[in-house]
Structure 1
Amino acid sequence: LGWVVGLRVFQGAFGALMQPATLGLLRSAFPADRLNMPIAVRSAVIAASTAAGPVVGGLIVEKADWSWVFFLNVPLGAVVLCLGAAVLRGGRADGATGRFDLVGTVVLAGALCSLVWGLTLVPDQGWSHPGTVVYLLVAAVLAGGFVWWQRRADDPLVPLRIFRSARFSVGVVTMTVMGFVMVGAPFVLVFYLQNVLGLTPARSGIQVLGLTLLMIVGAPPTAFWISRCGPRTPVVLGLTVTTVAMVALSRLDAGTGTLKMTLFFFVLGLGFSPIMIGGTKLVMSSAPVELAGVAGGMQQTAMQIGGSLGIASAGAIVASHAAAALPRHLAAADVTVPSGRAEEMVRAAAVGRPPELGVSGAAQDLLTRVSHAVFLEGMQYALLVTAAVAAVGALAGLAAGPEKTAATTPEETTGRPLDETAARTPG
Structure 2
Amino acid sequence: MTTLTKAPTAPAPVSRRTKPWLSLIAVAFGLFMVGLDGSIVSIANPEIGRDLNASTAGLQWVTNSYLLALAASLILGGKLGDRFGRRTYYLVGVAGFTVASVAIGLSGSITGVIVFRAVQGFFGGLLMPNTLGILRAAFPPKKFGMAVGIWAMVSSVSTALGPIIGGLLVEHVNWESVFYVNAPIGVIALAVSAFVLPQSKNSTGRHRFDIPGIVLLAAGLVVMVFGVVKGETWGWGSAATLGTIAAGLVILVVFGWHETRVEHPLLPMRLFRNRALTIGTVLTAVNFFVLLGSIFYVMLYLQNVRGYTPVMAGVLTLPLSLASVVASPLGAALTDRFGPRLTMPLGMALQALASFGLLLLQTNSSYAVMWPSFILLGLGVGMIMAASSEAIVGNAPVRDAGVAGGLQATALQIGGALGTSVLVSLISSKAGATLYTSLTGAGVPAPLATGLLEAKDAVAMGVAPVSPDMTADIRSAVVDGAAQAFINGLHVAALTTAILCLAAAAVAVAGVRRGPSPTEGVAAH
Residue among 479, 486, 490 paired with 1:375:
486
Q: 1:94 deviation in Å?
A: 4.7
1:175 aligned to 2:284?
yes
Decide which moves more: 60-69 or 220-229: 220-229
CA distance in 2, matches of 1:42, 1:235: 17
- Partner deviation per Cα, 1:85-120 (whole Å, 9 max, x = no partner): 222343323558843212111111111111111112
Residue among 390, 393, 403 paired with 2:515:
403
- Partner deviation per Cα, 1:349-407 (whole Å, 9 max, x = no partner): 11110114443322222111111111100010011101111111111111111235779
1:220 aligned to 2:329?
yes
- Partner deviation per Cα, 1:152-188 (whole Å, 9 max, x = no partner): 1222111111100111111111111111111111121
Q: Equivalent residues in 2 for 1:1-400 (5 A)?
A: 1-95=110-204, 98-332=207-441, 333-337=444-448, 342-343=453-454, 345-360=455-470, 361-398=472-509, 399-400=511-512
Matched residues, number:
412
Decide which moves more: 280-289 or 85-94: 85-94
SS in 2 for 1:152: coil
Query: Structure 1 residues 405 and 322 mapped into 2: Cα distance closer, same or farther (>3 Å)?
Result: closer
Q: 2:459 is matched by which residue type in structure 1?
A: A
* Residues 111, 139 of structure 1: 8 Å contact kept: yes
Q: 1:305 deviation in Å?
A: 1.1
* Residues 392, 408 of structure 2: 8 Å contact kept: yes
SS in 2 for 1:35: helix
Please report the TM-score for the alignment, with normalisation by the length of structure 2. Answer: 0.75
SS in 2 for 1:104: helix
CA distance in 1, matches of 2:205, 2:326: 36
SS in 2 for 1:149: helix
SS in 2 for 1:403: coil
CA distance in 1, matches of 2:343, 2:474: 51
CA distance in 1, matches of 2:349, 2:327: 16
Query: Structure 1 residues 189 and 97 mapped into 2: Cα distance closer, same or farther (>3 Å)?
Result: farther
- Partner deviation per Cα, 1:53-91 (whole Å, 9 max, x = no partner): 221211111222121111111111111111222223433
* Residues 232, 278 of structure 1: 8 Å contact kept: no
Q: 1:216 is matched by which residue type in structure 2?
A: V
Q: 1:215 is matched by which residue type in structure 2?
A: S
Q: 1:322 deviation in Å?
A: 2.5
CA distance in 1, matches of 2:305, 2:205: 53
Query: Structure 1 residues 44 and 349 mapped into 2: Cα distance closer, same or farther (>3 Å)?
Result: same
* Residues 115, 135 of structure 1: 8 Å contact kept: yes
Q: 2:498 is matched by which residue type in structure 1?
A: A
Which residue is 2:10 aligned to? none
CA distance in 2, matches of 1:190, 1:241: 20
CA distance in 2, matches of 1:97, 1:268: 47
SS in 2 for 1:396: helix
Please report the TM-score for the alignment, with normalisation by the length of structure 1. Answer: 0.91
SS in 1 for 2:307: coil
- Partner deviation per Cα, 1:103-161 (whole Å, 9 max, x = no partner): 11111111111111111222233212122122112112211211121111222111111
- Partner deviation per Cα, 1:229-266 (whole Å, 9 max, x = no partner): 11220111111111011110122112111133122211
Decide which moves more: 108-117 or 41-50: 41-50
Which residue is 1:422 aligned to? none
Bigger RCO of structures 1 and 2 (CA < 8 A, at least 6 apart): 1
- Partner deviation per Cα, 1:26-50 (whole Å, 9 max, x = no partner): 1111233321111011112222322
Decide which moves more: 353-362 or 270-279: 353-362
Unaligned runs of 5+ in 2: 1-109
SS in 1 for 2:447: coil
Unaligned runs of 5+ in 1: 417-427
* Residues 136, 401 of structure 2: 8 Å contact kept: yes
Give the fraction of aligned pairs with identical amino acids, expressed as a percent: 33
SS in 2 for 1:65: coil
Which residue is 2:71 aligned to? none
Q: 2:375 is matched by which residue type in structure 1?
A: F
* Residues 122, 315 of structure 1: 8 Å contact kept: no
CA distance in 2, matches of 1:48, 1:187: 16
* Residues 130, 402 of structure 2: 8 Å contact kept: yes
* Residues 394, 518 of structure 2: 8 Å contact kept: no
CA distance in 2, matches of 1:406, 1:340: 61
Decide which moves more: 287-296 or 82-91: 82-91
* Residues 123, 317 of structure 1: 8 Å contact kept: no
Q: 1:329 deviation in Å?
A: 3.1
Q: 1:51 deviation in Å?
A: 3.4
CA distance in 2, matches of 1:163, 1:224: 25
